[in-house]
Structure 1
Amino acid sequence: MLSEQREAVKTRQANRRAELHRKIQLGGWAMDAGAGEMTGAELVGALLSYREKVVATAEREHHRQRGAVHLAQQAAARSDARPN
């Protein structure tokens, strides 16, 4: 019984860590997209508008590809800025 409780605690902790990691990633991506100067309400409003309007798979794929290119460029810029 104790081992089951320990496993349950470990699972909850792992889930919390994964959720925290995802939130940190999302915040980083928002900053990479230039949203750092937006208010929380403005950013959430923009995302809600996106979710309401973009339902076509082709349009989502377009945004996904555009985002992937932008994130790759941001990563390369950070890598170039690091001292060797």
Structure 2
Amino acid sequence: MEKAGIPPLHVLQMTTLKGAGFLDRMNDMGTVDTGRNADLVLLDANPIESVQNLRGINDVIRAGAYHDNQKLSSMKERLGTK
């Protein structure tokens, strides 16, 4: 999408806010706030500068569990996706 000229911020909004709106889930998805379902990806660089920065995943919070970079690397190794 970025290569098509869509600014990185709009790409992020399409996958968060607009995705939640499309699914009619704005009450519990789309933003990080108290009472919402939120899986988080913590990145090494600012994704608004380039969506390519989305590839630099450092940590993940999924279903309330924290997975640091070391644990993620271990999981990738086990799955053979490194």
Normalising by structure 2, we get a TM-score of 0.24
Higher Rg of the two aligned structures: 1
Whose relative contact order is higher, 1 or 2, with alpha carbons under 8 Å and at least 6 apart?
1
Query: More helix per residue: 1 or 2?
Result: 1
TM-score, normalization: structure 1? Answer: 0.23
More strand per residue: 2
